[in-house]
Every structure is written in C-alpha cells, then in structure tokens.
Structure 1
Amino acid sequence: NNPNLTAAQKAQRLHLLEEVEIRLAYRYGLKDRLQLPGQPSQVRFTALGDVTQAMLDAAYDKIVALDNSPEEFQALLSREFWQDYVTQKYRARFESQGRPYQEALAALHERFSDGSLTASAYDAQAKDLQARLVIEDAALIDALTRQEIAERLLPREPLQTLTDPAERPAFALALSEAQAIGFNGKQYFTTSMPDAGDGQHYLLRVQSPEQSVRSGQQWDCGQA
C-alpha cells in the first residue's frame, strides 16, 4: 500500500512475498514428517501460497526418494536455515575455530593503523584470512551435518524382543532384538550388545533363512 512504489515495484514485492509464503508453507507442512529442525511451531496465511496437501505429499515422496543420497546431503548443506541451525547449536565450536582468525585480523589492523602495512597489503591479507575462515566453517558445517544425520538414524524406541532370553546362550544377542536402519543405501543393525565374557568381544546370534528364530548361530562381531 506504499503510494511511492511504482506498479512494477509493487508487482515485484508481491512476487517475492508469494515466494516466501510458498517456501514457508512447504517447510511448515513437511516439518513433522521430515523432522525438520528450526521450523516455526505455527504459521498464518500459508494458504496464500496455494500449496495444497497433494503438493506437500508429492514433495515428500520426491524428498524420500532422495533419502541418504549425495544430492540430498548437498541440498541440505546449501539451505540457509540448516546452516543457521548448525552454527547456533554448535556456536562454541565455531567461535573457537574463528578466534585465531579474529586475532590475526586484529593484528593486521594494528599494523595497518601504525603504518607498517600498506592499504593494499592489508586488504589482500584480510581477504585471505576471511576466505580461509569461510572454508573452515563450511568444512565444520559438513562434519557436524554428518554427525547430526548419524545421530538421527539411531533408534529412539525400545527394542522388541522376539525370542525368549531363557532359551538362548549367555552373552548372545538375537538378531530379532536389533533395530534395522538404512544408511547410504546399506542396512545396519544397532542395539546394546552384551559382553562375551572376556572383556573384548561381543556375540550376535544370527539365524539363517532355513532356521527358526530361536535356533541361530553365534557370530563373533569383533572387539568392543
């Protein structure tokens, strides 16, 4: 309603507002199913983006199809909201990493102020320090994102016991008690495994296809 804006400026602002509403509608509409962090708990006027439930479902299916893919990982790294989430959650890590660069910049400024460093040299060295910090911050975001993904793949529900503990050997664990998870296109089993008795190894009881659940072999799964 700004009378100082031209018709073209008003149309441009309306277009930008619609883009924001659409992005917000998708983020809010998919936050629970995709477990998106840092999203608003409630929004208003998302209907203005004309984002329907069918569109949300289609977007969800497309995202799930890319689950654990390199494309998904890079897309996540490029999202500003995710970068903000990681840097806020691990603020101390980023501050610690950036401290040497800030000190180096302060030292450069002192040398420039007392005339021992020319303006062009100061500008070049300052830009180099800033570029190196950007690279290190990006690498830290990458590492912390992988850590966040790995933590979210861990089971959160109690494991279901399908075999009678009294009918299996001591220090053995039935495969049916493990939680199957998928990561990078492979299947893994996670659980709390008992010590084999020697303080070094665990045993996992895995049934073969032709055996029943209660008649399995004991496999040495390596050192603790």
Structure 2
Amino acid sequence: MSVSKFQENFDKLKLLANQLTAADVNLNLEKLKLVRHKGRSPPVTYINIYEDPHVTIGIFVLKPGEKLPLHDHPQMYGILKVIAGTARIQSYTVVKKSLPCTENILSLLEDRFANRLSAIKLPEETVNEKSNACFLTPDERNIHEIHSVNGFAAFLDILSPPYDSTDEGERTCHYYKEEKTNSAGESCTTILATIPSPPEYWNDTAMYEGPRISYLMMAVRLRSSNYVKKSY
C-alpha cells in the first residue's frame, strides 16, 4: 500500500472513531462502578473487544484520580476516543537526531545506553465524549500519559500493530519519567528516562458486552454517512 493510500485510510478511520459512543459498545459505567475487590481496587479496568496479529481494540476505564502512566507505542499507530467522562492527555514526540554529525551520533549512543530520550512536550489536551478522537503515529505523539478528570473516564483504544507483535521489530511497552524540561517560547523539550513498570499501576479486566466488531463498525459507518449527508 502506498503512503498516500495508507494516510487516506487512516484519516477515514479517525473520522469513523469520532462518531463512537459508549452506547455503541454497550459500556455500562454504572455497573463497573459497583464492582468490589478484596483489598485495594485496581486503578484501571481493561475491556478487550477484538485482537488479531494486525490490530487490537479495547476500552480502558480509569477510576477517579487515576492514570495510565507515561508509556510508548513502538512503531505503532493508535486512535483514542473518549466515550465517557473526561480525560487529560499529555503527549510527547521523540526528537530524532540527525546522524551525519559525529557529535549527534555520540549523543544518541549516550542517550540509548542511559535509556533516555529527547522529546518535545506537546500542549496538554483535555477531552471528553464530545471531542474528536486523538491519534498517535510511530513519529508523532508516540509517548503519552492519560489521567481521569473529576471522576471516571473511559476511552476506546485502537492500536496497530498490537504490542508484542513479532512483525517489524520489538513492540514491548516501555514506561518513562520526565527528567528535565527546557522551555523556549512555545516549544518545550524534555528528557524522558525509561523506568520499570510503575508498581502503583495495574488493571483488572471486564467482559465486553457490546456487538460483534463487524456490526459495531457497520453502525458507525452508517452514522458517519448520515452525518456527512447532513453536512451538505
């Protein structure tokens, strides 16, 4: 597939994701709120919708005051659509250093061995079910942290290829902490250091109770088509 055709398809998927609602996937947030656990309740619940070697689709439910820690998506494309509540997203774009310069090569090797990355810290976004879908690519917004705001927040997550896929190299999720930030005008650069999986983060799972993925996409396409017709 050509780059232009891929981008066209990716843009179409983003437009479809904009139309998704909690009702489409039969998400019952009130039911999830009633679930009780022995000991401390996990900060996040994950609901798997669909997975194959090419794509994974699921729902993350963040409890009040909780977050998905700062993490990456190696060589992956992603679409995130909030379907309940409000979420605050802090994203980073990794800075690629030009290699011809010897100084840059040494700096790049030093950062790799020290498990550090230079990144652009992007403006924070606050999104809810009325907001358009957010996205990430291998080169843009690939590292992010997601917080719930003023209560529960749920978002549908589409990632391709999935984590731990054997195609095109490693796809292990890495976690980070921000070490140093330099601001200059509107731009903001920072150093991100890799860390072990944060001990305060873990999740439980819940069963998906919505329609099969084929029916879900059919419903979303129909709604999107009607929306486009009304726009003219």
TM range (shorter): under 0.3
Q: TM-score, normalised by structure 2?
A: 0.22
Q: When you count strand as a share of all residues, which structure comes out higher?
A: 2
Q: When you count helix as a share of all residues, which structure comes out higher?
A: 1
